[in-house]
């Protein structure tokens, strides 16, 4: 069973930066769609960004476009989320997700599409 492990969460002041990483416990034959979701207390889980590992195509929600950047490191079986200019509304638990053998286009924002999920890493942004 593949496990996804997130790291890099923490507390930061508004305007600061954090970098999240997600590493798969075993190599997963790709290409795959990998994504970051987040869930704030009392809110539904929402898609943040996704990357198609076959061609590095990336996708972002409107709320993070221009501030967040998703990337992959195939050699390390890892994706990362660089988060800049953080805002208090970015405060949430961030989850890594993977949909095996799939492109991201059209499906990436739907949590139900993903086969594997990490346990999450908490991000807190104070004003």
Cross-strand bridge partners of residue 121: 94
Q: Specify burial of residue 68 (Cβ count, 10 A radius: 0-12, 13-18, 19+).
A: buried
Q: What is the pLDDT of residues 16-73, one digit of tens each?
A: 999 999 998 877 778 899 999 999 999 999 999 999 998 989 999 999 999 999 999 8
Quick one: pLDDT at residue 2?
80
Q: Residue 99's closest CA among 62, 66, 51?
A: 51
pLDDT over 70 percentage in the chain: 100
The DSSP line for the chain is ---EEEE--EEEETT--EEEEEEESS---S--EEEEEEE-TTS--EEEEEEETTTTEEEE-TTTTTTEEEEEEGGGTEEEEEE-S--GGG-EEEEEEEETT---TTTTT-GGG-SEEB--EEEEEE-
Q: What is the pLDDT of residues 73-120, one digit of tens each?
A: 877 789 999 999 999 999 999 999 999 988 999 999 999 999 999 999
CA gap 19, 2 in Å, rounded = 23
């Amino acid at each position: 069973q593949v496990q996804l492990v997130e790291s890099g969460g923490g507390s930061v002041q508004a305007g600061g930066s954090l970098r999240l990483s997600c590493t798969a416990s075993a190599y997963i034959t790709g290409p795959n769609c990998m994504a970051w979701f987040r869930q704030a207390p009392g809110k539904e889980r929402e898609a943040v960004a996704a990357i198609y590992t076959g061609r590095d195509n990336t996708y972002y929600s409107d709320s993070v476009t221009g501030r967040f950047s998703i990337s992959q490191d195939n050699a390390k079986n890892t994706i990362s989320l660089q988060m800049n200019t953080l805002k208090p509304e970015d405060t949430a638990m961030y989850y890594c997700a993977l949909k095996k053998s799939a492109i991201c286009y059209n499906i990436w924002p739907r949590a139900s599409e993903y086969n594997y999920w990490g346990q999450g890493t908490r991000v807190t942004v104070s004003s």
